[in-house]
Amino acid sequence: MLNKKFERLTKREIITHDGLDEVIKESKTSGKYPEDLLIEKGIPRHEVLFCLSEYYGYPFVEYDESVMASYFLTMRLNMERLKYALWFPLSVRQHRAEVIAYNPYDHAVVEDIKKTLKIEEIDFIVALPSDLIRIIEHNFDVNPHFPSPAGRTPLAKVRTFLADRRSTMACYRTSLAKGRTGLAFLRTGISFIAISLVLLRIFGIGYLTVFEALLFMAGIVMAMDGLMWYLPARRTGKKLLDCTSTEPTWGSTVLKVSDPGDNPCFTRTDPVEGADKLRSGWNNLSPVMRRRFLAGDRTDMAEERTVLACYRTAMARARTGLAFTRTGIAFIGLGIALLRQFHIGPWTAFDFTLILVGILMAMEGFYWYLPGRSAGIEGFESVQRSEDNRSIWDFVFPPSLKQINAEYVCVPPVRASHSPGIWATTGLALERTVLADRRNVMARLRTVMARSRTGMAFIRTGMAISAVGIGLLVYFGTGNKAWTIFDVLMIVFGLMFIADGLYWNIPAERIKRQFPYCFGEMEIVVPDYGKPARYWRKAIFSHDDL
């Protein structure tokens, strides 16, 4: 049967009978299609296509980016199954369909087409297996050999889920910031309460009692208000954060999302055969193929920004925990001071209550601090790895450089013969990728600055602990050895926190100064891909325009 299929080749003496038999035999043993083997042996593609057309009695088609089906038709088809079955519908109208197929004589293929498309008659077009697979992949918006998750629409869906996760964590950080503000209210209220009670215990009931009562009531209101702000942040802080990430491969694997519910899972496909080689030939890729790679690059960048946002959220939680610790330290210091200053009496239970509540608050704050410290270390290491690793621009051949007025200007590979529409959309995809890369650089900077702020929170906490120890030591002296040891330990413990905070803050401040992204003017290039880059207009915005 196969000999008859390629009878045209032997008649035209393009290949001998023995040579054809050898190709057919190799096809059966290797599993490759005989058409592909014939082309590999130097038989012209058009001759093989003529064989298919004459044998089946249908016209043939080759792969071309213009061979497209309706999106509404392809969206309900299974690409991987079609690649295996080797048929693809171009159009469907009423009970008739135009279908590209490799073997129109296969009864199982015919029945599969009729059942899938719910039609009765088929107008066939034949194609080589390799061309048919590329037509299917192109219609599903993926590069050669890539799975369906590599399509720009699935990748856009992944980026949407990542954006939703970043928005959720931004809400967490806002709630935590509100909680820290509430703790500031709480500490202020405690200060008012402490002052009123100390005045009452020193002077008793007298003409200051009204002032003390007002101060006490104001402290109660502020403390309750701060507590109402803090409790939602506490619930937010208890939420689990997953800052794990996949390893970007710049096109050889594809990021995909599964279980798209409240907690979607992001994984990567297996390495795609030939993807590295395809990417390395960037200048030889069509505009559509470039856009597909750039879509994958933007998805990888979105994942990195999401992971960095997760680290910043964990550090914000640690700062909230440290604010809670400082509030607890204030309770402990006040309770110890009152206990040591006044004799045992009715107020002693209140003093012990202050100390106990302060200890519980400090313990919970430290419970929040430890995961945040780990996130700060991992986030900083992630930023350093990102700066040291290769970027996507190392995988893309740089545009040619032309010296104009003693300055090097990047000129994209655009010629007058190229279609402006195709190159414009590809150029815009490149612009979006450049902007995404810039957002990633700034996300790294924000992560470094978050580490710096967290280091400052360490320093403030250490200063609060040391201040309580120093205050108690200076006021009460060293007469009691046990209390003196306690005061010294508090001072040492606070100094350790200060040293840890400086260890976090100083490198972050040094890196922050290397990225001066806060500037007064902004220049945006307005690309016109029908003209050389040196003729593109530029729009400049300054603070005066705002």
Residues in the chain: 546
For 239-256, the pLDDT digits (tens) are 777 788 888 887 889 998
Give CA–CA dist 43/128, Å, rounded: 13
Q: Tell me the domain boundaries of the chain.
A: 1-57, 64-140, 152-545
- Cα-trace Rg, the chain: 35
- Which residue, among 349, 341, 352, has the nearest Cα to 471 in the 3D structure? 341
> Considering only 30-44, 65-79, 404-418, which range has the smallest mean pLDDT?
404-418
- Measured at the CA of 78, the angle between CA 75 and CA 83, to 5 degrees, comes to 125
- DSSP characters over 89-114: EEEEETTEEEEEES-TT-HHHHHHHH
Residues 6+ apart with CB under 8 A from 55: 4, 5, 7
Residues 6+ apart with CB under 8 A from 435: none
Residues 6+ apart with CB under 8 A from 310: 165, 169, 241, 242, 243, 375
Q: What is the pLDDT of residue 410?
A: 39
* Residue 178 predicted with pLDDT over 60: yes
- 3-state class of 409 per DSSP? strand
Task: Report the percent of the chain where pLDDT is more than 70.
Answer: 86
Average pLDDT for 170-196: 85
* Burial (CB count within 10 angstroms: exposed 0-12, middle 13-18, buried 19+), residue 29: exposed
Question: CA-CA distances (angstroms) from residue 411 to 98, 283, 366, 414?
Answer: 43, 13, 55, 8
Q: How many CA atoms lie within 13 A of 79 on its CB side?
A: 23
Residues 6+ apart with CB under 8 A from 124: 56, 58, 99, 100, 101, 104
Percent of the chain that is helix, strand, coil (3-state, to 5): 65, 10, 25
* Residue 38 predicted with pLDDT over 80: yes
> Considering only 129-133, 260-264, 445-449, which range has the smallest mean pLDDT?
260-264
For 91-147, the pLDDT digits (tens) are 998 889 999 999 999 999 999 999 999 899 999 999 999 999 999 988 888 888 898
* Residue 519 predicted with pLDDT over 60: no
**Which tokens sit at 506?**
């100083």
Number of Cβ within 10 Å of residue 482's Cβ equals 7
Say if CB 501 and CB 379 are below 8 A apart.
no
**Which tokens sit at 409?**
């200007």
Q: What is the pLDDT of residue 395?
A: 61
Please report which residue ranges of 397-518 form alpha helices under DSSP H: 420-476, 481-512
* Residue 418 predicted with pLDDT over 70: no
**Which tokens sit at 101?**
């197929």
CA 385 to the chain's CA centroid: 16
* Residue 50 predicted with pLDDT over 90: yes
Give CA–CA dist 470/490, Å, rounded: 8
Calculate the average pLDDT of the chain: 82
Beta strands in 197-304 (DSSP E): 255-258, 265-268
Average pLDDT for 501-521: 68
Q: What is the pLDDT of residue 513?
A: 67
Task: Report the percent of the chain where pLDDT is more than 90.
Answer: 17
Q: How confident is the model at residue 351 (pLDDT cuts 50, 70, 90)?
A: confident
> Considering only 25-39, 273-287, 363-377, which range has the smallest mean pLDDT?
363-377
* Residue 172 predicted with pLDDT over 50: yes
Question: CA-CA distances (angstroms) from residue 146 to 151, 310, 393, 405, 425?
Answer: 9, 30, 21, 44, 22
For 353-377, the pLDDT digits (tens) are 888 888 888 887 777 777 777 888 8
**Which tokens sit at 48?**
């093989």
Give CA–CA dist 250/301, Å, rounded: 10
Higher pLDDT, 202 or 519: 202
**Which tokens sit at 106?**
């296969």
Helix (H) or strand (E) holding 541: strand 537-541
Average pLDDT for 270-277: 88
Average pLDDT for 301-319: 89
Amino acid at 363: M
Instruction: Kindly report the CATH number that applies to the domain delimited by 64-140.
Output: 3.30.300.160
* Residue 226 predicted with pLDDT over 80: yes
**Which tokens sit at 237?**
């802080």
Q: What is the pLDDT of residue 79?
A: 84
Q: Which is it for strands 537-541 and 522-526: parallel, antiparallel or unpaired?
A: antiparallel
pTM comes to: 0.74
* Residue 398 predicted with pLDDT over 60: no
Average pLDDT for 150-171: 89
For 450-472, the pLDDT digits (tens) are 888 888 888 888 898 898 889 88
Give CA–CA dist 529/14, Å, rounded: 46
Give CA–CA dist 357/329, Å, rounded: 10
Q: What is the pLDDT of residue 2?
A: 63
Q: How confident is the model at residue 422 (pLDDT cuts 50, 70, 90)?
A: low
Average pLDDT for 259-287: 82
